[in-house]
Structure 1
Amino acid sequence: MIKDYVSDITFQNLSHKHMSFERVFRNIEQFMEKDPTGNFKLMFGTDSQVFSRETRFITGIVIQQERKGVWACFRKVTIPRRMTNLYERISYETTLTEEVVALFTDEKKDSLIDIVLPNIYKGASLSIEGHIDIGSGKRNKTSIFVKEMMSRINTIGLKPKIKPDSFVASSYANRFTK
């Protein structure tokens, strides 16, 4: 059942359409294997856009090697109605991020850790972050959701990031919601 669900999820980027999660994971491994002494950040985040008859959600996966480049892809989910309630939309964005993170089982995360582990003393590192498209500023309508959404991301073992540090959600995913 879970295997069927995973096989139904596809990702894309500017170079490839309809990538399976296994293909995405292999691309991340290959990116890291090019320089296993690097400082890597594996980041996830979702943004949404409300249109006249639907709401589009984009969940980005970005693997970044500090000062050396990135590899990224995204998953698109369309809900066939206008989701105008801000809490509902922010909560669903977080849920979609959680769904994609759940594909990275302990076995998969261990595989990524195994790439950098032999090089820790050479400065290699891997951190995993969850980017949320909300801000804590007094004028930000989403600030009342910060504590709850950060707690959800923290609970699944990711370092939560909000605006202005949540670029996977607020910039990368946002770009593909239009």
Structure 2
Amino acid sequence: MIDASFYNQSRQNMGIEEVVEHMKAFIEKDPTATYRLSIGTDSHVHQRYTRFITAIHIHRVGKGAWGCIRNHTIERKVTSLKEKISTETILSQEVAFPFISLYLEQLAEIILPYEDEGGNLQFEIHLDIGKQGLTKHLIQDMTNRIDAMGVEVKIKPDSYAASSYAHRYTK
């Protein structure tokens, strides 16, 4: 199980179980909505360390969102782009695994009775890579890792959990 602490502007030191409870409460407010649950990681190389931020973001499409992040720091500059993107992918996979094995079913059970009214839950991993720029040669390798988990993968410009939400906290 993940032993890292998640946080957002209103809550600190949340374990993964508490994160899921907040998500359940968020979904219960409108179980007829379409939800997109996204996990993504971004990083920034600082002078003496590299900060990785992994985001969990649940979007009630067209009607708001709730999210939280966790910080993972490597006490050195990660200068290899492949190592940096690979680490981002691994950290996202690590957070996604308990959802796949335990929590997605619990979240889906809230929505299931409301499917005929439009209730829906999509699960995605967002990678901070894209067809433009230096990361384009890493797309196949990184997306294959997520595909092997049976999870939908998004890359730029559609990978907002990594390239926007997590990115905001890497500096």
- Please classify the TM superposition score into its range, dividing by the shorter chain length: over 0.9
Deviation at 1:157, TM superposition (A): 2.3
Q: How many aligned residue pairs are there?
A: 171
Partner secondary structure for residue 98 of structure 1: helix
2:171 matches 1:173: no
Distance, in Å, in 2 between the alignment partners of 1:79 and 1:158 is 27
Per the normalisation by structure 1, the TM-score is 0.93
Per-residue CA deviation, residues 18-73 of structure 1 (Å, 9 max, x unaligned), is: 11111101001110011111100000000000011100000000001111100000
Partner of 1:163: 156
Gaps of 5+ in 2: none
The answer to whether the aligner puts 1:102 opposite 2:97 as a matched pair is yes
| Structure 1 residue aligned with 2:5 | 10
Percent identity reads 44
Name the amino acid aligned to 1:153.
I
Provide the rounded CA distance (Å) in 2 between the counterparts of 1:50 and 1:56.
Answer: 6
The SS at the match of 1:134 is: strand
Match of 1:56 in 2: 51
Q: Distance in 2 between matches of 1:69 and 1:108?
A: 21
What's the Cα RMSD here? 1.0
Residue range with higher mean Cα deviation, 104-113 or 13-22:
104-113
Q: Secondary structure at the match of 1:165?
A: coil
Structure 1 residue 105 displacement after superposition: 4.4
| Pair 1:27 & 2:39 matched | no
Amino acid at match of 2:92: T
Matched to 2:160, the amino acid is F
TM-score, normalised to structure 2's length? 0.97
SS of 1:103's partner is helix
What is the SS of the residue equivalent to 2:129?
coil
